[in-house]
Chain A
Amino acid sequence: MSLLKDSITLYNREMMIFRANIRSNFMRTAIFPIVLLVFFSFLGASISNIPVAIVNYANNMQSVQFINSLTSQSLMEIYAVTNSNQALQLLSNGQVDFVIEILPDFPAAPGTSSVQVYYNNVQLSVTSAILPAIQSDAAKFSGTSSVLMEPFAQLSSVNGNAASVATPVTGANGNYEDFLFSGVIGMILVFSALFGAGLSIMTDRQAGNIKSFLITPINKSAILLGRVGSSAVQAIFSIFIVIAIGLLLGNTIAMGIVGVFWIVVLGVLLAISMTSISLIIASRLKNLQAFQIFGQATALPLWFISGGLFPVTSFPQILQIISVFDPLTYAINGFRYVVLEGIYPLGSLITDITVLAVFAAVTTFISVKVFKSTID
């Protein structure tokens, strides 16, 4: 009971300090998303020479014009292939990223579809650049805008009569900006929790503040728990800043307001884990520089292998295995469903939240143990 009361007292202290420095806290949180989202998202825009295999079953003038038109763009590098099986083999081998099948009835009558596109949806930025290009060219030469698009991973029986354009599996707005957006939310949480909590407890210790708490009749763990609590609340503050910046820069959250709720749930759990890790490191080190180094060495790999910058599926096998043990992977996975796809499958939701909650509980427990054993 007194542990809870003491923790709340020290939580209030942390929040008062946080509010006293609100301007610098805001700047610190805002600067990374601005830089990353404005600057790095341009990286996704320079797409050229994407390998594309074309199977031309129509073999008429319009189909040749269609192929020439695609070739003339620097966007794609076209490989002519004689049959569909061969093309799909190339696709599954990863030698090409797209297969365009021009069906015999090209150009089709209005309302029917005579172009079939298969693609792998690993590289979202590529998919989102190429598909519209194919679609507009097909419309130009076939007189109809109907192109059947099949993500290769979800290849189903092709319905030749389908009139509508298949929705890309990447969701409402599958571009790299949104992909990065979800990664940046995770990154901000990791960096601000990992550096914030540890550094503040180390400067508190150097200034003598910790000693002044320890001479009062409080439970020692309250110093730590108050800090973890305030970190969790500050994480919500960070999340809203990043989301606001993202929305201002034109990013979208496919799931809307419900998505923001899930981001907050995942984000708070993540922030608790990272704060605890930070406090474990800070309890063991006495030197601010050493802490910086340890912090970087922890935060950067966590972020890189989490799939924050690139999809985990594009990693080498060994990193994919390691990423399973990175709690940030689960948070980013959730953010990505929410931001990109607009649906959060129940199975993933349960896995993500369970893993993060267990991780948060374990790290907090360890940090309390470690902190108790260090004498100040």
Chain B
Amino acid sequence: MPEHYIKISKLVKRFGDLVAVNDVDLAIEKGEIFGLLGPNGAGKTTIINMLLTLLTPTSGKIFINGMDISKNQEKAKQMMGLMTQETVVEADLTARQNLDLFAHLYHIPESQISNRVKEALDEAELQKFADVKAGTFSGGMQRRLGLVRAMIQEPPILVLDEPTTGLDVQNRNTMWGRLRNLNKEGTTILLTTQYLEEADELCDRLAIIDHGKIIALGTPSEIKRIAGSGKVLEIIVKPDDVSHVVSFLKSKFNLIANAKGDRITAALDKSIGTEFTKISAALDREHVEVLSIGAHLPTLDDVFMKLTGTGLRDTSGEMQGGRANIRWRR
């Protein structure tokens, strides 16, 4: 018996000179919600594409339930449903036609198709709109349709590539509810996200990935503790004062501060009440012009800052550009 349900072993993917996925090892258990967290271009989608057998790994292997997926591609595909950020219902087809098409593509026996489609329409609460073109649906309805379409062959694994990016709060919450229900019914879920909040809310475990490498792995609370157990102090000063403030915080308060542009962050360990006031007053005495000062709960950005020394949002733009070029050439 294999010990892990999905086992990714020494996975490497290169596009020319760019190493998109660099020696990744992951183990995902049955019935778990596992999150892959990282900025755009970190390699999340590349890992998922290799899992879905859309890309061939440069080296390394992926096993599902002990089965090498490169040797059993069709079987592996039957076991996984995918919903992506831009999912992608057929806008010109009705909800029913959408589901019918994928039921056929997954080779569901003809006699079961109409039943399965009806079930899926019920699950998505789209019975009333079954014969309406999907292109006229709202964003939330399209996601619902996309989700049941991804699950049309009732796979044991659901892969979600940024499932809630671009959704409003209400739709995002209902989507989370649906995913939790699917998980309760026994579906193993692997999702990628840029939002710590989402990972925190949903995932049993998560891995943070950057430049194709896993840099942290654990439960959400374990991950957040990397950024500090307390809140994060954030000070914005004039650019000229930045280095002065960083050394000041180090010498007076023994705080290890990271600076990015005019923004300085530092993890606060103790209860913030007293320390926050003290820092604020001390900076005032130093005649530093503080443009903004505050404290917030650790975010992915803070975890990132801590782990890599760079902000999440700053890296995402250029990485995306670079990756896009690689894709063209391929």
Show the binding face of A for B, using Cβ within 8 Å.
2, 5-6, 9-10, 12-13, 16-17, 20-21, 207-209, 211-218, 286, 375-376
Contacts and interface: CB of A to CB of B under 8 A. Distances in A.
Contact of B88 (A6, A12, A209, A375): A209
14 contacts: A2-B107, A9-B105, A16-B92, A208-B86, A209-B90, A211-B54, A213-B105, A215-B80, A216-B77, A216-B102, A216-B105, A217-B105, A217-B106, A217-B107
A193 B90 CA distance: 22
B84 interface: yes
Contacts of B244: none
B107 A20 contact: no
Given A17-B92, A20-B93, A215 B82 contact: yes
Given A208-B87, A208-B88, A209-B88, A216 B106 contact: yes
B52 interface: yes
Contacts of B133: 20
A179 B87 CA distance: 49
Contact of B86 (A21, A207, A217): A207
Interface of B: 52, 54-55, 73-75, 77-78, 80, 82, 84, 86-88, 90, 92-93, 97, 101-102, 104-107, 133, 327-328, 330
A7 to B, nearest CB: 11
A9 B101 contact: yes
Given A16-B93, A215-B82, 20 more contacts: A5-B107, A6-B105, A9-B105, A12-B101, A13-B101, A16-B92, A16-B97, A17-B92, A20-B93, A207-B88, A208-B84, A208-B86, A211-B84, A212-B84, A215-B54, A215-B80, A216-B77, A216-B102, A217-B73, A217-B106
A16 B77 CA distance: 25
The 6 A-B residue pairs with the shortest CB-CB distance, nearest first, are: A216-B105, A208-B88, A217-B74, A20-B92, A9-B104, A217-B77
Contacts of A218: 105
Contact of A375 (B55, B74, B92, B104): B55
Nearest to B52: A215
Nearest to A17: B92
Contacts of A6: 105
A21 B93 CA distance: 10
A268 to B, nearest CB: 24
Contacts of B78: 217
Contacts of A20: 92-93, 133
B329 to A, nearest CB: 10
B84, B86, B90, B327: residue with the most chain A Cβ atoms closer than 10 Å: B90
Nearest to B84: A208
A217 B104 CA distance: 10
Nearest to A20: B92
B84 to A, nearest CB: 6
A375 B54 contact: yes
Contacts of B327: 286
Contacts of B90: 13, 17, 209
A207, A211, A215: residue with the most chain B Cβ atoms closer than 10 Å: A215
A158 B54 CA distance: 75
A102 B90 CA distance: 73
A212 B82 contact: yes
Contact of B54 (A21, A207, A376): A376
Contact of B330 (A16, A208, A212, A375): A375
A375 B92 CA distance: 25
Contacts of B101: 9, 12-13, 16
A163 B102 CA distance: 72
A271 to B, nearest CB: 21
A289 B86 CA distance: 23
Contacts of B52: 215
A214 B76 CA distance: 12
A211 B45 CA distance: 12
A210 to B, nearest CB: 10
A211 B133 CA distance: 21
Contacts of B105: 6, 9-10, 213, 216-218
